[in-house]
Chain A
Amino acid sequence: MKKLLVTIIFLSMAASCEAASLYDKLQGRMGLQYWLKLLHYKPNFWGHYKSITDSPNFFLDKNGKYNPEAEFYASIKAFKDGKPLVGTLKLHPQCAFPERYRFLKEIGLLNTMDAPCKDFKEWKKGINAESISLVFSTSFPNNPASLFGHTFIRINQKGKKSDLLDYAATYGANTSEEGSKFRYVFYGLFGGYKGYFNFMPYYQKVNEYNNSESRDIYEYKLNLEPDGVDRIVNHLWELYTTAWFDYYFLDENCSLILGGVLELGRDEWNLTKKDKWYYLPADLIKLIAKTKGAVDEVGFRPSIGRRLDWRLSSLNSGEKKLFSAVKSGDVISEQIGNTKVLDALIVYFDFLKHKEFGVLRPKHKKIYHQVLLRRSKFKDGTAIKKDWKRDNKPDLGHGPQKFSLIAGAVNDSSVAGIHFKFGYHDLLDNDKGYEPFSGLDFAEIGVEYNYDLKELDISHIGVINIFSLHPMNFYDPRFSWQVGLNQLFAGEIDGMGKTKWRADGGAGATFNLGSDYFRWYFMFGAVAETSKHFENSWRLGPKVDTGLLMNPTEKYKLTLTGRVIGDVIRRIKKDYYGEAVLGQSLWIKRNQELRLNVAYVSRFGSFDRSTYSARFGWNFCF
């Protein structure tokens, strides 16, 4: 009996020794790092690993999500046994996880017969991968809510004739069920949507982003060896057939997951490094552009709106008149021999068509057909004139977070302070890599010391500030708008030490003054303010906003903004005050900026007395 017990103990020890050594071998052969990447394991604060993949099908051990070692042994066993069959497709484990299998075999931890894997091989043959591109689509034109853009993968085919016939691998939340916007936001933030991988021809994505939604596309072709491409493609199949992830808009979104896939391509790549509580598409682009030798070349596909801009700006005034005459049906296109005008008309109607979800109004439809017919009579096309004065690749953008050192004066007092902003981009920020003159700021706080009052105060809390300044044009007339929620000094009472909360919003129009780098806006709106320093503790009233925005050189911006705010609650005569701000920014490095703000705030009920302030800031983005 005793002997039997000892034998059992020894046997179980031997078993565990052998088992441990196999996992040790994985570590010893530098395979652990790849294993962790391949199954998307991330260590938590305590050093425990957890995979960000959430579907049970992706794991062969029931505890695999939390245990890389158990998953390792379960995988080896399943690859040997040929069971359990995985997913609803009932794939042989080797066929469901071809990259896992290849990897374990390559480092010599597995020596089994290969399963035939017909489905997988057929699929892979269809994909016919030669290289991989990371694709970035920018925001909707001047819609700050979509400023963050979107990323997906393009698989470049061997010996291809056209990029359009490549395949796109996309990762996104499945939000197909109808639901309220509130639910959409709630699920997106706190989890509730599942993210899946999907494949489709690239032309589908180009049509969708470039044309239907008028967004620019940047294509970053990655520098990968054939085996790196292979690893990624194999793994995409694994994800496609077995995986979903809980989708969180701000961090576990398309870009973090894609980073986790692409970093398989080279052992030294780390594309899931998160240094903020959010991970945005541009973060992935910047990370990959920063990774040495990772990007071969960058391609660009201008949005349909941009192409139309280019076409129109290449017309002289006579041609513009002709353009307008044909567009409104006053001149029939058969009389036109100018291909520049015809080409501009074609992009114009194409733009309209996409804007109206694929259907032109009958009158336009007829004119469009005539224009196309006329155009087909001329052989030589006119090349589109690229009015692309400034390189605007998303990887060139400044970091979204900002820390500032501030020194200045309020009336006769000196002040000094610091300011921090979690994100993202304001009207004075360098537009390189961003939508020009867009503004989306959230989560900011500043503290300031006043040397006269000898007081340290919270000078500013910015919850959210959005500026959407869409330049008016005849083909896409849109309102501009603005909203904000802030705590700030109440300069209209006394610029020093007294704060108020303000919620405001407005809508109006923006105009380009001769160039895209010189704009003017005006808006009407409403302001609500509250402060314990107010007589009635709160105010509510209309406002008028206007501003001149200039960006004469890439590194310098100047803005001059003014507003008049009223109060309808008090019902007295002089129930208004005004603000004017002159802002200037100079970018000395990509992530370093000098800024000077000079502000005037009139006292409540008077434009004669006022609070002046000037603040100089040295800002660091990261």
Chain B
Amino acid sequence: MKLFVGIIVLFLTFSAYAVDKSSGCGAGWYVTKRNSLVSSTIRGTTNAIFFNATLGMTSGTMNCARHSIVKSEKRGIHYAEANFHQLMVDMSRGEGEFLEGFAHVVGYSGDMKLFGGMVQQNFGDIFVNSDTTAQEMYENFKNVVI
């Protein structure tokens, strides 16, 4: 039976799980890799924020927690990195789930409409041009808020 199944899957070449390399670690991240400053560390840092940074490494989950460079107070910037594309969309519209998540991560707990409106109004200052990076966006956002 296994041989038979082998033939089938060879036909498929790529099984569902094959493409799902991401379900362990890796893939998926290529999206942010090219235009980010700290994206390669995101996986590690997001883990590091809430989990003992050594865990991922020692339990053999490879790639996931190799870096623990960034401390938890930088959670906002990592959220911005990881959700850069979606934040760009939500900020221009002044609403959206990714923007709400961002608000919470940076510690805003007030009225979302207000937050959304403010970000939207200042969109041009936050995303200055088409090359604005996630980190610049985050800095600009802080300047707008403060």
Report A's interface with B, CB cutoff 8 A.
87-89, 119, 122-123, 126-127, 139-140, 143-150, 152, 161-165, 167, 170-176, 181-182, 184-186, 188-190, 194-201, 203-204, 207-209, 211-213, 240-242, 244, 249-250, 253-254, 277, 281, 343, 346-347, 350, 353-354, 357-359, 365-366, 368-369, 372-373, 375-376, 379, 381, 442-443, 463-464, 466, 483, 485
Within 8 A of A (CB), among B91-105: 91-95, 97-98, 100-101, 104-105
Is B127's CB under 8 angstroms from A372's CB?
yes
Residues of A within 8 A of B34 (CB): 357-359
Best-surrounded residue of B13, B51, B54 (most CB of chain A within 10 A): B51
Can you list, as one digit per residue, whether each of B89-125 has a CB less than 8 Å from chain A (1) or not (0)?
Answer: 1011111011011001100010000000100110110
A487, chain B: closest CB distance, angstroms? 14
B62 in the interface, Cβ–Cβ < 8 Å? yes
Taking a contact as CB atoms closer than 8 A, the residue among A143, A165, A373 that contacts B104 in the complex is A165
- Which 4 pairs, one residue from A and one from B, show the smallest C-beta to C-beta distance? A172-B23, A208-B28, A376-B123, A126-B50
With A162-B104, A196-B61, A199-B47 as known contacts, state yes or no: A211 contacts B17, CB within 8 Å.
Answer: no
Residues of B within 8 A of A148 (CB): 15-17
Is A185's CB under 8 angstroms from B50's CB?
no
Residues of A within 8 A of B109 (CB): 161
A553, chain B: closest CB distance, angstroms? 29
With A150-B20, A164-B97 as known contacts, state yes or no: A194 contacts B60, CB within 8 Å.
Answer: yes
Report B's interface with A, CB cutoff 8 A.
1-2, 4-35, 42-43, 46-47, 49-52, 54-56, 58-64, 79, 82-83, 85-86, 88-89, 91-95, 97-98, 100-101, 104-105, 109, 117, 120-121, 123-124, 127, 129-131
Residues of A within 8 A of B117 (CB): 379
Is B97's CB under 8 angstroms from A163's CB?
yes
Residues of B within 8 A of A485 (CB): 11
| 20 A-B pairs with C-beta separation under 8 A | A89-B52, A89-B58, A123-B52, A145-B12, A145-B15, A150-B23, A161-B104, A172-B20, A173-B23, A188-B17, A199-B47, A203-B98, A204-B46, A204-B82, A249-B16, A254-B23, A347-B89, A376-B120, A376-B121, A466-B12
A471, chain B: closest CB distance, angstroms? 21
Closest to A204 in B: B82
Closest to B122 in A: A376
Complex CA distance for A119 and B33, rounded to whole angstroms? 31
- Further pairs besides A174-B62, A197-B61: 8, Cβ < 8 Å: A172-B17, A172-B23, A173-B23, A189-B6, A200-B47, A204-B43, A353-B85, A359-B35
A162, chain B: closest CB distance, angstroms? 4
Is A483's CB under 8 angstroms from B30's CB?
no
Complex CA distance for A513 and B54, rounded to whole angstroms? 55
Complex CA distance for A277 and B9, rounded to whole angstroms? 15
Residues of B within 8 A of A88 (CB): 58-59
Is B24's CB under 8 angstroms from A464's CB?
no
Is B95's CB under 8 angstroms from A376's CB?
no
